[in-house]
Amino acid sequence: MLKSDERGKGLRPERKSSRAGAPPLKLGLIGDNIAHSKAPLLHSLAGQLAGIAVSYERLVPREIGLGFDDLFARCEADGYRGLNITYPYKEKAARRVRVEDPLVRAMGAINTVIFEPDGAHGFNTDYSGFIAAYRQVRGTDGAGRVGLFGAGGVGKAVAFGLLKLGVQALCIVDLDRAKAADLEARLGAAAPGLPVTLADSVEGLPDRIDGVINCTPVGMVGYGGTPLPRARMGGPGWAFDAVYTPLDTQFLTEAAAEGRTIISGYELFFHQGVDAWRLFADCPVDPTQLRRLLGESGAGPQA
């Protein structure tokens, strides 16, 4: 199996900021359906705690009238320090950057970009964020047998995170069989011997399953619904939803009602954001203080 630092994912060593008196840290988020994203607030609050002015823009390609590649190039030319990348551009972004970490290269998806003098560098803090969110709730308990809905960018990061969390078998459910097969091949190269099956509907899930994961946009504000009917939710076990707008998705609400331990997508959002901030600003942020400020702002659970 490929080895990599699960928490940092190639993050630089922490040090105090030396940006006093510098122009605002220019950041952005490229994605679709991001009007409700809390990322601008998270990074603004992180900047407040670090004493760094932050400019953070939501960048929706179709609203700006540019394709992803042209928008990405414009951000690099316009002096952005870095970008967050979200659905549906994480895999496309991975092809435009230098990725030093072998495990992130194996995933084929990134969610964080840093612009350096020698070009754009890519990282995946969804991976480290998912591991942190899982362990926060389940400690050292292994993931067991897992059903994963969605083989896109976040699905890839979560699937590779499961390798660190003791997954015993994985069923990938995606209507796009080619995308699911691509993830299966990537996992096979990183973890030979892991049992991986593919399904294009919920009917293909095994009868016994410990963890269920939603890495599709289903359930997000503007989409609604759940990828897994409550009748198939079962329990006990655990459930994770990568969606965090709204905080209480139908998927997690029904999982809790069926006796599953739930892991909120808010925790992935929070932990990946902490890791992304370290990359953007080259300095740490106090997670406890940041969580408290986000809760007080109404952007997350009260700390």
* Nearest alpha-carbon partner for 145 in 212, 192, 190: 212
User: Edge-to-edge, what's the strand order for the sheet holding 144-149?
Assistant: 196-199, 167-173, 144-149, 211-214, 237-241, 260-263
How far apart are alpha carbons 187 and 160 in whole angstroms?
7
What is the β-pairing status of strands 82-85 and 112-116? antiparallel
Q: Kindly list the catalytic residues.
A: 90
Residues in the chain: 303
CA angle 292, 18, 79 (to 5 degrees): 90
Q: What single string gives the DSSP state of each residue in 242-271?
A: S--SSSS-HHHHHHHHTTEEEE-HHHHHHH
Q: Which amino acid is it at 283? A: C
